[in-house]
């Protein structure tokens, strides 16, 4: 089955710096890669996603890149702000008679003011 | 749109008691997922339904756990009997599901139920 590895587990950056979180997946059949942000006491919320027919997608300060050959995808946050502090999860999904999504272990991001 | 609704938000119970968690997915979504989140194991998929039918329950820890989806707007996750190691945050999520051969769709998570079994 699919396996998603996420690094680093913890990331601390200074406000204004960039943050990069990297994930790898194992199953080449995966074709949808969402990123979720989870704030304390809340459920994960989608912040950006990318499909396998696209190599890069950007939404304001957030961008995601996908390398299908290497089975890598990454989240880039530029000009980080204290409110970006949260746990971020990458995930990989494939069509298997439903939408089973496998999540990475999460990255706890601290943005220091 | 009210989003995914879960109840209760918090549950404290004693070992051996039955626990029932409830979920109302977003209207029009036909896939529903139950997850468990702990510090040690992260976010684990327990079971998911498509069009009210259980598709994959391989993540259900053991026979003490059961889930039902009697209709498109309601699902339950039951633990009987509960044990202290079941203490976790349980999330329900829903998605629109398959669209004419399209890729997987975004899952929308509820606020979770924080369960503590003493």
Q: Which of B80, B105, B117, B116 is nearest to B25 (CA)?
A: B105
Indicate the length of chain A as a whole number: 113
User: What 3-state class would DSSP assign to A83?
Assistant: helix
Is there a contact between B103 and A46 if contact means CB atoms under 8 Å apart?
no
For residues B86 and A95, give the distance between their C-alpha atoms in angstroms, rounded to a whole number: 30
Rama region for B112: left / alpha / beta (φ>0; ψ in -120 to 50; rest): left
Pick from B45, B103, B108, B109 the residue to mutate for testing the A interface (most A CBs within 10 Å): B103
User: What is the distance in angstroms between the CA of the first residue and the CA of the last residue of chain B?
Assistant: 36
Answer positive or negative: Cα dihedral of B31, B33, B106, B72: positive
Q: Is B57 in the A-facing interface, judged by CB distances under 8 Å? A: no
Taking only the tens of pLDDT, chain B with its 118 residues reads 689 999 999 999 999 999 999 999 999 888 899 999 998 888 999 998 988 999 888 889 889 999 999 999 999 999 999 999 999 999 999 988 665 334 447 889 999 999 999 9
Residues B113, B12: contact at Cβ < 8 Å? Answer: no
């Amino acid at each position: 089955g699919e396996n998603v590895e996420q690094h680093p587990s913890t990331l601390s950056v200074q406000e204004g710096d960039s943050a990069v979180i990297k994930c790898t997946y194992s199953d080449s059949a995966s074709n949808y890669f969402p990123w979720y942000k989870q704030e304390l006491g809340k459920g994960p919320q989608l912040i950006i996603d990318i499909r396998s027919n696209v190599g890069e997608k950007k939404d304001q300060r957030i961008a995601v890149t996908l390398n299908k050959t290497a089975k890598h995808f990454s989240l880039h946050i530029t000009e980080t702000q204290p409110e970006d502090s949260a746990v971020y999860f990458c995930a990989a999904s494939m069509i298997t008679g439903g939408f089973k999504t496998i999540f990475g272990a999460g990255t706890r991001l601290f943005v220091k003011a | 749109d009210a989003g995914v609704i879960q109840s209760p938000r918090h549950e404290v119970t004693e070992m051996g008691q039955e626990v029932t968690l409830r979920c109302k997915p977003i209207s029009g979504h036909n896939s529903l997922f139950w997850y468990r989140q702990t510090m040690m194991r992260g976010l684990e998929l327990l079971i998911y339904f498509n069009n009210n039918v259980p598709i994959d329950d391989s993540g259900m820890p053991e026979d003490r756990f059961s889930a039902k989806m009697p209709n498109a707007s309601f699902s339950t996750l039951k633990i009987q009997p509960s044990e202290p190691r079941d203490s976790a945050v349980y999330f329900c999520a829903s998605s629109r599901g398959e669209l004419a051969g399209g890729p997987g769709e975004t899952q929308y998570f509820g606020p979770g139920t924080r369960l503590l079994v003493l």
